[in-house]
Amino acid sequence: MQKRKPKLAMKSNMVEFYDTTLRDGSQAEGVAFSVEDKLIIIEALDKLGIRYIEGGYPGSNPKDIEFFKRAKGLALENAMVVPFGSTRYPTFSPESDPNLSALLDTGARTVTIFGKSWRLHATDVLRVTAEENLELIESSVRYLVENGREVIYDAEHFFDGYADDAAYALETLRAAAAGGAKCLVLCDTNGGRLPLEIQEGIRMAMAAVALPIGIHAHNDAGMGTANSVLAIQAGANHVQGTFNGYGERCGNANLASIIPTIQLKLGVKCLSDAQLQALTSVSRLISELANLPHDERQPYVGHSAFAHKGGLHTDAIRKNRLTYEHIVPEQVGNAQRILVSEQAGRGTIIKKIEKEYPNYDKNSPQVQTLFKRLKEAEREGYQYEAAEASFELLTHKVFNGYDSFFEPGGFRVIIEQFSDYAMRSEATVKVTTPDGLTAHTAADGDGPVNALDTALRKALEQFYPALQTVRLIDYKVRVLDTKAGTGSKVRVLIEASDGERSWRTVGVSENIISASCEALIDSFEYKLYTDKRLAESVVC
């Protein structure tokens, strides 16, 4: 007998996903996104089908100011970039409040502000009376609405406030509703509330105000994702979270778990099948750009989520995958792995390359060769989720017998420190073209990677002037084996641009300069490869 899915009390058959990785997630220890990182993540989340993407505090620092200016130029299909701020300061009127003005200055149609739901925070943090706090909330929301904005109101510390004084916590929601808010989001800001408390709070809020209700949960008691799902079951239809659970202290509710649970377990279809299949790659992309190891035991999107090793499990899974898998891994872009034989995963490769190579199946020799190469590279520490250019080059070499535009003949890097503590780096490289032409060049740089980049460029531009437009715009290093100390293998991720498009490449080695050189070579190679393909398509 098929199990019945839980009945929902939702006001609609859709759930809005609101991502706050770029704001709340970046408050996590060890997480910092550049403006370029943020723009890449927004485009990935937009394709995934996320409705709202919170970008940060628009008036808090120069980086966020630049980000909101550049975000205006993005051609998004599904998402809206949302600025975040607070209710007005008690000493300012709405018209003179710099925080509210910064929100309006972004030009965003939808903005999010938070206010105090807990009487303790009103009196002890804002230093206002409970009644004055209600006026702060209503007047702030009203001012933004009167200036043509939709307002998502985050009721900070709602569940703690509700436990302390339920009547007052609900009164703060009524104040936001009176101001014209479009959605009220109940926040478990300290992350310490239990599921049944969350459900009670959601139901009481729904009874108190006739507006859509959302949930914003933190994970300090390990309940963030569970509380979010239970809130949806109780009737909320807006859920906030971060990818991979990034966030302050113990993190936020994890959208990479919430999204598939809502769609596949509760039966609420919010994303297309193709969008859901991109979930794992988006999760890994964000890990790479955060410069953090991907949590491989993460539900749904971890490398180990559908891994089976030996014994009865392996035998059963080969006979019927439902025996030890709660969903079909490919639904979220992941793959089943039989760890003893490593025979699974070719279907994922087919999915990734089917647009360019549509006439191949899992048993094609090229697919098997690519699969083997990827597995070997994976064991060495390569990850291609955030290095699509390196993956495309590897695939083209396997399928088309692709010959490189140049062969590196070795390099040397010298680093010197002078008596005034100034540092100088010099790199020497040698490259040879397919027709036997050789260039042997040297260049100085601010650091060893910059010197190597300059020397490579100097050598290759003699044969390929188009490389003059290529610039390195981001550089990340990941230590792969922390137990090995300074002898650890590292993974280098490089992003480059020619002014019209950007791409990312990867290199791995125990030597950081060698890994950087590998990523640089792939980067130049990719530019030449794509230019050639573009020229051939124009001729055709």
Q: What is the CATH number of domain 407-539?
A: 3.30.160.270
Cβ pair 138, 178 in contact under 8 A: yes
Query: Could you tell me which residues are beta bridge partners of residue 116?
Result: 156
Q: How far, in Å, CA of 488 to CA of 482, rounded?
A: 6
Can you give the pLDDT at residue 7?
A: 43
Per-residue HEC secondary structure of 32-92 comes to: CCCHHHHHHHHHHHHHHCCCEEEEECCCCCHHHHHHHHHHCCCCCCCCEEEEEEECCCCCC
What pLDDT is recorded for position 344?
40
Cβ contacts of residue 507 below 8 Å, gap of 6+?
491, 492, 494, 514, 515, 516, 517, 518, 519, 520, 522
Taking residues 449-460, report their average pLDDT. Answer: 94
Tell me how long the chain is: 540
Q: With contact defined as beta carbons under 8 Å apart, do 200 and 159 qualify?
A: no
Nearest to 473 by CA among 505, 518, 515: 505
For the chain, the structural domain boundaries read 16-290, 306-344, 407-539
Statement: residue 4 has pLDDT above 60: no
Confirm if 475 and 452 have CB atoms less than 8 A apart. no
> Are 493 and 478 a contacting pair, CB within 8 Å?
yes
Indicate the pTM of the whole model: 0.73
More confident residue, 485 or 452: 452
Q: State whether the Cα torsion 526-532-538-540 is positive or negative.
A: negative
Quick one: CATH architecture of 16-290?
Alpha-Beta Barrel (3.20)
CA 328 from chain centre, in angstroms, equals 23
pLDDT per position as a tens digit, 484-519: 677 789 999 999 999 888 899 999 999 999 999 999
Count Cα atoms within 13 angstroms, Cβ side, for 84: 20
Closest CA to 85 of 122, 125, 56, 46: 56
pLDDT band of 401, cuts 50, 70, 90: confident
Token pair recorded at residue 537? 């398509």
Q: What is the pLDDT of residues 112-141, one digit of tens each?
A: 999 999 999 999 999 999 999 999 999 999
Q: Is the pLDDT of residue 343 over 70?
A: no
- The predicted-structure confidence for 31-89, as pLDDT tens digits, reads as follows 999 999 999 999 999 999 999 999 999 977 788 889 999 999 899 999 999 999 999 99
Say whether domain 306-344 belongs to CATH 4.10.430: yes
The predicted pLDDT at position 152 comes to 98
Residue 308: pLDDT band with limits 50, 70, 90 = confident
Among the residue ranges 25-34, 344-353, 528-537, the one predicted with the least confidence is: 344-353
Residues 6+ apart with CB under 8 A from 332: 260, 276, 277, 279, 280, 300, 301
Read off the pLDDT of residues 409-428 as tens digits, 9 standing for 90 and up: 989 999 988 767 778 899 99
**Cβ atoms within 10 Å of 487's Cβ, excluding its own:** 9
Average pLDDT over residues 244-259: 97
Residue 106: pLDDT above 90?
A: yes
**Which residue intervals of 381-511 are DSSP H helices?**
388-400, 448-460
Segments in 223-310 forming alpha helices (H): 224-234, 255-260, 273-276, 279-290
- DSSP string over 215-246: EEEB-TTS-HHHHHHHHHHHT--EEEEBGGG-
Pairing of strands 52-56, 438-445: unpaired
Q: Rounded to the nearest 5°, which phi and psi values hold at 402?
A: -65, 135
Reported confidence tier of residue 314, pLDDT bands at 50, 70, 90? low
* pLDDT (average), residues 292-306: 91
